[in-house]
A and B are shown apart, each in its own frame.
Chain A
Amino acid sequence: MWFDAAVTFRRTGAALAAATLLLSLAACGDDSDSGSDSGSGAGAGSDTTLTVYAAASLTQTFQAIGQEFEAAHDGVSVEFSFGGSSDLVAQLQQGAPADVFASADQANMDKLTADDLQADDPQPFATNTLEIATPPDNPAGISSFADLAGDGVKVVVCAPEVPCGAATVKAEEATGVTLSPVSEEQSVTDVLGKVTSGEADAGLVYVTDVEAAGDDVTGVPFPESADIVNTYPIVALKDSDHADLAQAFVDLVLSDQGQGILEEAGFAQP
């Protein structure tokens, strides 16, 4: 009885192991074209993968820059890990293998340099400012920052602990308007979600987020935002196995070509 069970167990185990092996092999085989169908550059014969950790708000622009990079460097494919800057830093501090890091704010880049993980000095490559986002029909009739504090207006902001929330606190100081938000979200994506679903009357996000959301939201600029500029730094990492390529990617982001892509998305130059 127990013997039968052991055999079955062993067989199942072997089958599982085989399946796992097959899956991981299949996954490795897919590595060459990292999901994004660039149609140029990296094909099945690519042998170098450049791993870029970048803030979630850079998703669209960096993918475009990545495609340019692949087109210019034969046999190289760029893989991205997009997420909250602090999450990415935590992963890098735990030894996650990466070649380049682009942060949504200086504070998180400082965490990285405090651990001495950078290959060189971080370079500012873009800036971003806040803008009010409302559902397309702007149901609460928001036209200024002060309107956000109006009676019954449901405002969603980023929590002060995250970069967009720190900027929000500065905006409150600059305008002298104290908000009482119904929710303090974890990221601009979460804030936008509450606005596009119509659950919130307004949210505070970046200009680039309003741009990227297209017709799903209406942007309401406010003049005080010009004084609250969030700077994005980028750096090649010390533990990179492809130091030259990593630096080349950073250079591309800083070049006119990279800056053009960023500007189109609403980012300003530092």
Chain B
Amino acid sequence: MLLPLVAIVARVDWAHFGSLITSESSRAAFWLSLKTSAASTALCVVFGVPMALVLARSDLPGLGALRSLVLLPLVLPPVVGGLALLYTFGRRGLLGSELDALGLQIAFTTVAVVLAQTFVALPFLVVSLEGSLRTAGQRYEVVAASLGAGPTTVFRRITLPLVLPGLLSGAVLSFARSLGEFGATITFAGSLQGRTRTLPLEIYLQRETDPDAAVALALVLVVVAVLVIGLARQTRSAL
């Protein structure tokens, strides 16, 4: 596990590290990656929380099939995910004409990047949260309800505090997954500086002309991912 990381650190051109990672294109890619990953994580929470609640708490028929469906992006090659999004939201996709009528063209925009990242990261949040919900059980909720608390109060005062660590680690995993997404992004959103060229795409392109810059940026990506995971662990233990 560690060896490839060590190999990257060993390859970094430290003498020019600063200038390599502060070039205009690197900075643009860095901020775009952070912004889109944050947006994707927010979307994952918005869509993922209800999904996890349904999977953990309901007794709908076909729940198993539903769970498999939610987990699909985990096992789907990202490029295939990108194609699926293209055939859905693209100009000639399933929703293309409807979106066109609304004046929305998604492909080649930052929105496409966020969609692609959300698509691949959503299962991480759902799986984490569903696990926490199942572990937490429903005893406290039942007691609270029997003492006269309304469903909203129960969710806010009982369910949420109980599963917050799970939600948090799910969100962190989603963020980290979004940060690293490459295949779906390049397939669905394309690659343009400042608009759709995220850090992984920038690294991929930099290899063409400047392998040193690619290695330096790769290290930045690793450091950001490690920082986010570390931060989340700290917050978790503080909860």
Q: Which residues in A have some Cβ–Cβ distance to B below 8 Å?
A: 84, 86-87, 90, 154, 156, 159, 161-162, 181-186, 190, 193-194, 197-200
If the complex has contacts A194-B190, A198-B90, A198-B91, are A183 and B196 also in contact, measured as CB distance less than 8 A? yes
Residues of B within 8 A of A184 (CB): 190-193, 197
Establish whether residues B92 and A198, one from each chain, have CB atoms under 8 Å apart when the complex forms.
yes
Establish whether residues A87 and B86, one from each chain, have CB atoms under 8 Å apart when the complex forms.
no
9 additional contacts, CB 8 Å, given A182-B108, A183-B191?
A159-B205, A162-B205, A181-B192, A182-B190, A184-B192, A186-B204, A186-B205, A199-B91, A199-B92
Q: Shortest CB–CB separation between residue A126 and chain B, in angstroms?
A: 21
User: How many residues of B are counted as interface, with CB atoms below 8 angstroms from the partner's CB atoms?
Assistant: 22
Contact residues of B: prevailing secondary structure: loop
Q: Which residue of B lies closest to A135 (CB)?
A: B92
Q: Is B209 engaged at the interface, CB distance under 8 Å to the other chain?
A: yes
Q: Which residue of A lies closest to B192 (CB)?
A: A183
Residues of A within 8 A of B205 (CB): 159, 161-162, 186
Q: Shortest CB–CB separation between residue A83 and chain B, in angstroms?
A: 12
If the complex has contacts A154-B108, A182-B190, A198-B92, are A161 and B208 also in contact, measured as CB distance less than 8 A? yes
Establish whether residues B207 and A87, one from each chain, have CB atoms under 8 Å apart when the complex forms.
yes
Q: Is B122 engaged at the interface, CB distance under 8 Å to the other chain?
A: no
- Which has the most chain A C-beta neighbours within 10 Å: B187, B190, B204? B190
Q: Which residues in B have some Cβ–Cβ distance to A below 8 Å?
A: 86, 90-92, 107-108, 186-187, 189-193, 196-197, 204-209, 211
A-B contact pairs, 15 of them (CB 8 A): A86-B209, A154-B108, A156-B190, A162-B205, A182-B108, A183-B189, A183-B190, A183-B191, A184-B193, A185-B190, A185-B191, A186-B208, A197-B86, A198-B90, A198-B92
Q: Shortest CB–CB separation between residue B217 and chain A, in angstroms?
A: 14
Q: How far is the CA of A200 from the CA of B105 in the complex (A)?
A: 11
Residues of A within 8 A of B90 (CB): 197-199
Residues of B within 8 A of A159 (CB): 191, 205, 208
Q: How far is the CA of A154 from the CA of B209 in the complex (A)?
A: 26
Q: Shortest CB–CB separation between residue A104 and chain B, in angstroms?
A: 12
Residues of A within 8 A of B91 (CB): 198-199
Q: Shortest CB–CB separation between residue A57 and chain B, in angstroms?
A: 15
If the complex has contacts A159-B205, A199-B108, are A186 and B92 also in contact, measured as CB distance less than 8 A? no
Q: Which residue of B lies closest to A180 (CB)?
A: B192
Q: Shortest CB–CB separation between residue A166 and chain B, in angstroms?
A: 10
Residues of A within 8 A of B197 (CB): 184
Q: Shortest CB–CB separation between residue B88 and chain A, in angstroms?
A: 12
Q: How far is the CA of A186 from the CA of B202 in the complex (A)?
A: 10
Q: How far is the CA of A193 from the CA of B206 in the complex (A)?
A: 22
Q: How far is the CA of A76 from the CA of B189 in the complex (A)?
A: 44
Q: Which residue of A lies closest to B109 (CB)?
A: A182
- Which has the most chain B C-beta neighbours within 10 Å: A154, A193, A199? A199
Q: Shortest CB–CB separation between residue B61 and chain A, in angstroms?
A: 37
Q: How far is the CA of A86 from the CA of B107 in the complex (A)?
A: 28
Residues of A within 8 A of B190 (CB): 156, 182-185, 194
Q: How far is the CA of A150 from the CA of B86 in the complex (A)?
A: 24
Residues of A within 8 A of B107 (CB): 199
Partner of B108, one of A84, A87, A183, A190: A183
If the complex has contacts A154-B108, A197-B86, A199-B108, are A162 and B192 also in contact, measured as CB distance less than 8 A? no
Residues of A within 8 A of B189 (CB): 183
Q: Which residue of B lies closest to A193 (CB)?
A: B187
- Which has the most chain A C-beta neighbours within 10 Å: B186, B189, B193, B205? B205
Residues of A within 8 A of B193 (CB): 184
Residues of A within 8 A of B186 (CB): 185-186, 190
Q: How far is the CA of A200 from the CA of B86 in the complex (A)?
A: 12
Residues of B within 8 A of A186 (CB): 186, 191, 204-205, 208
If the complex has contacts A183-B108, A185-B191, are A90 and B211 also in contact, measured as CB distance less than 8 A? yes
Establish whether residues A86 and B208, one from each chain, have CB atoms under 8 Å apart when the complex forms.
yes
Residues of A within 8 A of B192 (CB): 181-184
Q: Which residue of B lies closest to A159 (CB)?
A: B205
Nearest 10 A-B pairs (CB), nearest first?
A183-B190, A182-B108, A161-B208, A198-B92, A161-B209, A86-B208, A199-B107, A183-B192, A199-B90, A183-B108
Q: Shortest CB–CB separation between residue B174 and chain A, in angstroms?
A: 25
Q: Shortest CB–CB separation between residue A149 and chain B, in angstroms?
A: 16
Q: Shortest CB–CB separation between residue A194 and chain B, in angstroms?
A: 7
Residues of A within 8 A of B187 (CB): 193
Residues of A within 8 A of B209 (CB): 86, 161
Q: How far is the CA of A199 from the CA of B91 in the complex (A)?
A: 6
Q: Shortest CB–CB separation between residue B203 and chain A, in angstroms?
A: 12
Residues of B within 8 A of A90 (CB): 207, 211
